[in-house]
Amino acid sequence: MDNSRNHRVYATSVASVYKHYITKAERKGRTKAEVDEVTCWLTGHTQEGLERELANQTTFQDFFDNAPRLNPARSLIRGVICGVRIEEIEEPTMREIRYLDKLVDELAKGRPMEKILRQPPA
C-alpha cells in the first residue's frame, strides 16, 4: 500500500492552514490580498473560486487535484522549506503544498511580488 497518498496534511482543510499563512504575512507587513494573489497565481483560482474553496473547507488533496490551472512556472520555485528541498519532493500533492508554503515564506521575508510570481525564461 502506498502511504505517501495518505499523509495527514492531504485531508487537512486549506482554510485551517490559510489563516496561518495570512497571520505570518501580516506580521511581516504583507497583506491577505498578497497571500491570495500568490495562491491564485499558483492554482489558477479566481478570487471568488479561492474564497469558495476556503468556505467549503476543501482539503489540500482536493484543492490541488481540482485546481483550475496549476501555473506551469511553479516548477521554477526552488529552495528549502521545512528542511526539505522542494525540487526533490517526488509526491505531487506534497510538492504543491510546499510550493504554496514557499511562496508565502518569500512573501513574509519581503521578497518583491514580481520575483515571487516567477516568469518562465524567455
Backbone angles phi, psi at 13, to 5 degrees: -75, 140
- pLDDT tens per residue across all 122 residues of the chain: 344 456 788 999 999 999 999 999 999 999 999 999 999 999 999 999 999 999 999 999 999 999 999 999 999 999 998 888 999 999 999 999 999 999 999 999 999 998 999 875 55
Residues 6 or more apart from 58 whose CB is under 8 A from it?
Answer: 13, 14, 15, 66
Check: pTM over 0.85? Answer yes or no: yes
Q: Please report, as a single letter, which amino acid is at residue 75.
A: S
Q: Are 92 and 75 in contact (CB under 8 A)?
A: no
The C-alpha cell at 121 is 525564461
The secondary structure element, H or E, covering residue 39 is: helix 32-43
CA neighbor of 43 nearest in space, from 110, 108, 93:
93
